[in-house]
Chains A and B, each alone.
Chain A
Amino acid sequence: MVSTKTPSQLVLNGLLNENPIFRLALSMCPAVGISTTVMNGLMLGIAVLFVQVFSSCTIALIKDYIHPRIRIPTYTLTIATWVTVIDLVLSAYAPVAYKAMGIFIKLIVAFAIITMRLEVFACKNSVNKSFWDGIGMGLGFMFGMVALGFVRELLGMGTLLGYDVLGFRPLLFFALPLAGFFCVGFMMAAFNYIEIVFNRMKKKTG
């Protein structure tokens, strides 16, 4: 199935229709584990964007030479190579952020979203299309992480990106690491509610 979408449609698809966190509900571990601040979300988002784009392009380049029976190991090894690259680069140039994210950078290998995009999209489409699909998925992941980080940092600490915005702490509970479960649950429910209201309005007008 070769995609006929234009680059802008591909990017929008990753951001909204198939948002990795809120719509596909894939790679929940980082969404719960390290979305405590906007900065953390942004850094991991950039790392995932990098890995997604580069492994999508690599697979799209060599897709004709991969035997179908060993395609999954090939995907895994490709992703592992790019994760090693970003792991070494981050530990050298951004040691503080690297420490904050801990083991999650290395675990990008096991994020379901990247393997799934390679299997569903990159192995059937051109390099150009796969590049834009990778950008869309990476941005979608980053958007989800930043949205979660925004809510948790604002409610938990009253700050944004480290700057004091509110001057007080509305709900200190959200700064706890485990509040990620509640936060993801509430935000998913909010998205469902919007969808239900949207469908109801559609029914009325149509």
Chain B
Amino acid sequence: MRHIERQKIFLLGAAILMVLISLAGCKTQHRFVDKTAFKGSHDIVLTFAAPVDADWARDASNYRVCEKPDPDIRLDIAGIHLSADRRIVDLHFQEALNQGQPHVVTLHNIMSEGKSLGDETVNVKKLYLGFLFSILIGAMLIHNFVFTKYLGLCVFFGTSQKKTTAVGMGITFTLVIVASAMMSWALYQFVLKPYHLNFLQIIVFIGLVSLSVQAVDTVLRKINPALFKAFGVYLVLVIANCIILAVPLILADNEYNAWESLMLALGAGLGFLIALFLMSSVRERLELANVPPTYRGLPIAFVVAGLFALAFLGFSGMSIF
């Protein structure tokens, strides 16, 4: 009996993975632009599906390149190199590109074999796995939600008194946030955005969070009662944590795709786990220390959290790859 149930779960997991992969596959890239990539520190390389016209490709006014967060600042193109088979265009820039940010290239009126193929906008990102990894590490350490964004503090101070509680809360939170962030990402991309219902974001996301907490509760109770006994108590607290609502809002703002969303949610959960673990180790020792009566309890916990935040400030401005 148990064996069959486990098999079912594996199947379910595999199905979810397949859906994720297919979702990541249907990118918004133009059908005519095969590949976009950074080359060196000054170049962007565009690969087209078929040869483009040399006159069109060599005219710098046909390209508009900017960083995704600053669409107003146009980057100057210093030179354009077209390959012999007229399929690869190399854009050379005067200044070094900030490859930590995705870049947007707008192509005006693409000409191929004398025919116009219309305007197109494509994104240029760093090596994709590296980019995903940098999102994960970024959410975990560099932009840690507790110490650099100051979110989820109520639950953070409430459950960091003992190490066992802290780890239990951290793991439960990571599971729930990954599930709820993926669901709200799908709902936002496929329902809210196409039907222009953006203003319903808050209501829909908070509803989904409560629903997914309830779902994890039910599933865990059926599948693994021992685990439920250990982590069930923390499930209620998960809803009271602002991070679980902040992550879907950030995903919606930044227009992340499925894999990027997964990485951000995972990073947020693991970052919370790290913060809780660090804090609980210190607070267990504080129990033995001789703290002045006015500082006992929360005040000293706040000062300790401030010191941790100072330490995490050291990560700021760091970039991976």
Contact = CB atoms under 8 A, between A and B. Distances in A.
Partners in one complex: yes
Given A84-B199, A182-B306, A188-B298, A33 B149 contact: yes
A106 B202 contact: yes
B317 to A, nearest CB: 14
Nearest to A113: B154
Contact of A177 (B150, B153, B206, B298): B150
Contacts, number: 108
Nearest to B303: A185
Given A106-B249, A186-B299, A112 B154 contact: yes
Contacts of B296: 192
Contact of A106 (B244, B245, B303): B245
B245 A109 contact: yes
Interface stretch (A73-81, A120-128, A136-144, A158-166): A73-81
Contacts of B147: 178
A189 interface: yes
Given A106-B202, A178-B313, A29 B150 contact: yes
Interface stretch (A7-15, A20-28, A41-49, A52-60): A20-28
B26 interface: no
Interface in B190-240: 199-203, 206-207, 210, 240
A181 B305 contact: yes
A28 B200 contact: no
B204 to A, nearest CB: 9
B300 interface: yes
| Dominant SS among interface residues on chain B | helix
Given A25-B298, A192-B294, A103 B246 contact: yes
B210 A73 contact: yes
- For B147, B201, B293, B309, which residue has the most chain A Cβ atoms within 10 angstroms? B309
Contacts of B150: 29, 32-33, 177-178, 180
Contact of A196 (B200, B242, B294): B294
B295 interface: yes
- For A177, A178, A182, A188, which residue has the most chain B Cβ atoms within 10 angstroms? A178
Given A178-B309, A181-B302, A185-B302, A109 B206 contact: yes
B97 interface: no
Contacts of B293: 192, 196
B151 interface: yes
A84 B219 CA distance: 32
A110 interface: yes
B250 interface: yes
Nearest to A108: B202
B241 interface: yes
Indicate the size class of the contact surface on chain A. Answer: 35 or more
A162 to B, nearest CB: 23
Interface string B110-151: 000000000000000000000000000000000000011111
A144 B207 CA distance: 30
B99 to A, nearest CB: 26
A135 interface: no
Contacts of B301: 185
Contacts of B298: 25, 185, 188
B216 to A, nearest CB: 16
Nearest to A33: B150
Contacts of B203: 77, 80-81, 84
Nearest to B156: A28
B157 interface: yes
A193 B151 CA distance: 28
Given A32-B150, A106-B202, A110-B240, 7 more contacts: A72-B210, A73-B207, A80-B207, A178-B310, A186-B299, A192-B296, A192-B299
7 contacts: A29-B153, A29-B154, A76-B207, A80-B202, A103-B249, A181-B305, A185-B300
Interface of A: 25-29, 32-33, 72-73, 76-77, 80-81, 83-84, 87-88, 103, 106-107, 109-112, 177-182, 184-186, 188-190, 192-193, 196
